Amino acid sequence: MSNAATPGWKHAVVTGGAGFVGSHLCAAILDAGTAVTCVDDFSTGRPENISELRDRPGFTLVRANVSERLAVGRPPDLVLHFASPASPADYLRLPLHTMEAGSLGTRNALALAHDAGARFVLASTSEVYGDPQQHPQNERYWGNVNPVGPRSVYDEAKRFGEALTTAEAEAHAVDTAIVRLFNTYGPRMRGHDGRAVPTFVRQALDGEPLTVTGDGLQTRSLCYVDDTVRGILALARDGMRGPVNIGNPTELTMLELARLVIELTGSRSEIHFVERPTDDPAVRCPDITLARDKLQWEPRVSAEEGLRRTIAWFRDHGHD
């Protein structure tokens, strides 16, 4: 990634920087020559995700819960707010922490950007669309979310974060952007985090049955993490407010995904069908017209290639 990816930025703050997507963001920004402060409380992030960054010039780690405080030393030019549990296993285990990260954490990150005159990017999610009645989903769709369902702690935290970000931009002229991420996957995911790709890869490598929920015909649109990071930084440097969908518009059913993982791992695992979770979306696919037209961004890595890279990483690093 060239320095053109970070125009004029000398210092970026990434909350949740030891998480899956956050750690890849930290690395990409460092590679582009911008200093990075990673803020994480390690409730779901992992020290090993940033182990290769900690001795690099320009990298600083601040261990903190963004819902309680956010002090990073010198002022940043860019604040990327990615601190939040993101997998079902995590946000169901940490429901209040998840809601606080989306509310108090977003408020604190916005205050940091406001005080520094920095560009602010909120990591939102396709989950704001809920179990969508519009397909594919564009940014004008308001969603179909159960506000008291088991997924609501994450869905509503992100929806509130979007509203708060919008209000801050209007009330205090903070330079904000909202990115809605769709089903990102790749190296550094945790094998037991509950999401489909790491779950299927772990099960296949261990020779266990792949547990497909329901009839397996529900769809997801998988975006490899390198593509996601490119999209996030494209929005950060463009100046658009958004929201902007960043995801891969190629859909796979969960059954197709399970079979592809078995094929790519060479596993002899079988497929077992299990009960489908409450409020599990039937379809999920981004309309990326806005990202294509305004950011000149679209995904480059196919599902097969991205899964090959992910499987190779799990083979090398284990799959706990």
Residues identified as active-site:
154
Distance (Å) of CA 224 to CA 19, 119, 133, 154, 305: 15, 25, 25, 22, 9
Strand-pairing partners, residue 81, are 15, 122
Place of tokens 């009645």: 133
The 3 state secondary structure assigned to 291-308 is HHHHHCCCCCCCHHHHHH
Radius of gyration (C-alpha) of the chain in whole angstroms? 19
Distance (Å) of CA 190 to CA 62, 180, 282: 22, 21, 24
Q: How far is CA 207 from the centre of its chain?
A: 28
d(CA 37, CA 14): 6
